[in-house]
C-alpha cells in the first residue's frame, strides 16, 4: 500500500476466497486516501450479485469506488476494466495461459495510461522469460458443467497454501509472507561496486526487473551499472550536475536525454525505491549512482532552502515559496517544472492570477524568475 498510488485502480489476485477476504479487510484497515467502506472489496465466485455490482462499478471509469478488488480466480479473464494501473500477484500462477490472461487485465488502453505496474510476491514474473510468453493468449477451455473458467463447481472447499498452491501444503517450511523466500531475506541488502571503486547499496526486498536495450530482462545491479556508464556523457562532476538540476530547463533536457538512453522517469523512480530513497529527489538517484553520495530527503532539502529563502526574499515571496516547497516535499521534483507555476499560483491565490501578481509584485515574468531562481537553494552544496 505504501508502494502504490492508493487512488489508482488495482486488482489483487489471492490464493483463495478466504485469503481474498482477509486481504480485503487488511487493505481497508491501512488505506490512507478514503474513508469509504467499499474502497476495497472482494469479488469472487461466492459473492454473487453483490460482487457483480462491485465489478460493474469498478469497471466504470467515471467511478473511483471501489478502487481495489481482491479476488482468487474470477477476475483473471473477461474483465474489461481499462483503467487498471496495478496488478498484485499474491498466489502462484502455474499456467502460461492464465499468466497471459492476468497480465491482460493491465494492458487495456485508457486515456493517459501508457504503463501499468505488476507487484509480484510469488515470482510469477519469471514466466516472462518463458519462450511460450510470446504470441497471443490461447482461450482457455470452459467447464462443461458450469460453463466457467476456471471451474467453480467445487467452490474451493479447503484453503490452498499461498506459496505452493496445494492442499495440504507441500512446502518444507513456510516462506516469509513479505519477501516470499525461505529463509527470509527481507533484511539482506545487495552491494554493488562500480568502476570508481565505491559501493552502492540496493534494497534486496525490492526485486525489480528492468529491460535492457535488447529487450531482455536485467537485474537492478546491471541497470545501475549501465546508468553509471552513461552519466559521464551528461555531466562531468558533482558541480555540473547541481548546476543542471537547479534550473528547470536544463533539468528537463537532462531527463529527456536520459530517457532517450533508456533511463526514463519511471525507471529512475524504481531505482529510487531500490536505493531506499523514495522520499528523496531524482537528483539524489543520479548523485548516488554517479558519485556514491548519500541521498537527502526532500524534507531536508526544503528545510535548507527555507532558511535561505527567509534571508533573500520579502515576506509575501517567502509565503509563496514555502507553499511551493510544501508541494515539492509532498509530490517531488515534478512540482518545480515551469509548467506547474500557473497551477501553483491558482492554488495559492484561489484561482486569481491578478491577485498573485499584486501580492508578489511585478508581472508574471518576475514571478517566473522568482520561481526558477529560488530552486538553486534546494541543490546547493550542504554547508
Count, residues in the chain:
383
Residue 337: pLDDT over 80: yes
Q: What percent of the chain has pLDDT over 90?
A: 29
* Residue 176 pLDDT: 59
Q: How far is 281 from 217, CA to CA, in rounded Å?
A: 26
Q: What is the pLDDT of residues 102-115, one digit of tens each?
A: 777 666 666 666 67
In this prediction, residue 204 has a pLDDT band, given cuts at 50, 70 and 90, of: very low
131-140 b/e with 16+ CB inside 10 Å = b?
A: eeeeeeeeee
Strand boundaries in 153-198, DSSP class E: 189-193
pTM of the shown model: 0.55
* Residue 165 pLDDT: 57
Residue 56: pLDDT over 80: yes
- Structure-block grid coordinates of residue 14: 489471492
* Residue 156 pLDDT: 44
Amino acid at each position: 500500500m505504501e508502494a502504490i498510488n492508493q487512488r489508482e485502480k488495482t486488482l489483487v489476485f489471492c490464493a483463495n476466497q478466504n485469503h481474498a477476504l482477509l486481504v480485503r479487510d487488511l487493505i481497508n484497515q491501512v488505506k490512507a486516501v478514503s474513508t469509504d467502506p467499499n474502497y476495497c472489496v472482494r469479488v469472487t465466485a461466492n459473492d454473487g450479485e453483490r460482487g457483480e455490482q462491485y465489478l460493474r462499478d469498478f469497471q466504470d471509469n467515471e467511478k473511483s469506488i471501489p478502487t481495489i478488488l481482491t479476488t482468487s480466480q474470477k477476475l483473471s479473464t473477461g474483465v474489461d476494466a481499462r483503467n487498471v494501473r496495478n496488478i498484485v500477484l499474491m498466489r502462484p500462477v502455474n499456467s502460461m495461459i492464465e499468466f497471459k490472461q492476468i497480465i491482460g487485465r493491465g494492458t487495456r488502453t485508457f486515456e493517459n495510461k501508457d504503463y501499468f505496474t505488476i507487484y509480484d510476491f510469488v515470482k510469477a514474473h519469471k514466466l516472462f522469460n518463458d519462450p511460450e510468453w510470446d504470441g497471443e493468449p490461447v482461450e482457455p477451455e470452459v467447464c462443461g458443467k458450469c460453463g466457467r473458467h476456471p471451474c467453480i463447481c467445487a467452490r474451493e472447499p479447503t484453503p490452498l497454501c499461498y506459496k505452493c498452491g496445494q492442499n495440504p501444503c507441500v512446502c518444507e517450511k513456510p516462506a516469509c509472507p513479505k519477501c516470499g523466500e525461505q529463509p527470509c531475506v527481507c533484511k539482506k541488502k545487495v552491494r554493488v561496486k562500480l568502476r570508481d571503486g565505491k559501493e552502492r547499496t540496493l534494497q534486496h526486498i525490492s526485486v525489480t526487473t528492468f529491460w535492457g536495450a535488447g529487450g531482455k530482462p536485467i537485474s537492478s545491479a546491471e541497470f545501475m551499472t549501465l546508468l553509471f556508464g552513461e552519466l559521464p556523457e551528461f555531466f562531468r562532476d558533482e558541480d555540473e550536475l547541481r548546476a543542471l538540476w537547479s534550473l528547470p530547463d536544463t533539468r528537463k533536457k537532462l531527463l529527456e536525454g536520459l530517457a532517450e538512453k533508456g533511463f526514463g522517469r519511471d525507471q529512475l523512480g524504481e531505482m529510487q525505491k531500490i536505493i531506499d530513497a523514495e522520499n528523496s529527489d531524482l537528483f539524489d538517484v543520479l548523485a548516488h549512482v554517479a558519485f556514491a553520495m548519500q541521498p537527502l530527503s526532500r524534507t531536508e532539502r526544503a528545510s535548507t532552502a527555507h532558511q535561505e529563502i527567509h534571508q533573500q526574499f520579502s515576506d509575501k515571496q517567502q509565503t509563496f515559496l514555502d507553499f511551493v516547497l510544501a508541494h515539492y516535499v509532498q509530490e517531488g521534483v515534478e512540482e518545480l517544472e515551469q509548467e506547474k507555476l500557473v497551477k501553483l499560483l491558482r492554488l495559492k491565490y484561489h484561482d486569481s492570477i491578478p491577485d498573485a501578481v499584486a501580492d508578489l509584485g511585478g508581472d508574471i515574468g518576475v514571478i517566473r524568475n522568482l520561481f526558477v531562481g529560488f530552486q538553486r537553494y534546494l541543490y546547493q552544496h550542504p554547508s
